[in-house]
Amino acid sequence: MTDINHNFHWELELDDGTILSQKNKDDWTKYDPKKVIRASVIPWLNDPFNIRKRHDVLTFPKNAFVRRFARGFKKSDNLNQLHEYYHCIVTEQFKFYVFSNGNTLVAHPDSDLYL
């Protein structure tokens, strides 16, 4: 069974044109958050109805990229499934969340979201 952590993947574009992605993890040695100009959360291709949309966060001088991560939640009543798995892009000005169902949330950069 495909779990919800396969609904989206991430991609980062550096200022020299390098693309770092979940599908190209060997390039991770080139990762430098100061060089990130675009951070994206992209549906995997297994979404035949195209329900989930791509989201791009572009950085600019007063809103620099800080980091990205995904957060998984497992609950003890059914530990073989992820309850939620969201992606989060952190910039100086905000956190941008993309939930596994495609919903999004913009929050303060100091916020921390445990579900």
Partner 1 sequence: MPADVQIHELTGSSSGVDKSGGTVRFKSADETTVNTENRMTIPPSGVNYSYTKQNQFYFNTAPDVDIQNLRAYSDGGDGWGAEFTFQFDVLAAFSSNVNSDIAGTDIFTKDSNSPIDLDSNNTGPHTGTGYKGDILRTQLAVTSSATQGQLAAETITFAYDET
Using rule CB under 8 A, residue 60 touches partner 1: no
Give the shortest CB-79-to-partner 1 separation in angstroms: 5
Of the pair 64, 70, the CB lying nearest partner 1 is at 70
Strand partners, 38: 13, 58
Q: For residue 5, report the phi and psi dihedrals to the nearest 5 degrees.
A: -75, 0
String marking each residue 11-50 x if it binds partner 1 according to CB under 8 A: -----------x--x--x----------------------
Q: Which of 37, 66, 70, 105 binds partner 1 (CB under 8 A)?
A: 70
Q: Which of 1, 48, 61, 78 binds partner 1 (CB under 8 A)?
A: 78
Q: How far apart are CA 110 and CA 113, in angstroms?
A: 10
Q: For residue 71, report the phi and psi dihedrals to the nearest 5 degrees.
A: -120, 125
Do 58 and 66 form a contact (C-beta atoms < 8 A)? no
Using rule CB under 8 A, residue 1 touches partner 1: no
Q: How far apart are CA 2 and CA 102, in angstroms?
A: 16
Q: In the block, which residue shows the tokens 């989206």? A: 8
Applying CB under 8 A, which residues contact partner 1? 3, 5-6, 22, 25, 28, 68-80, 83, 85, 114-115
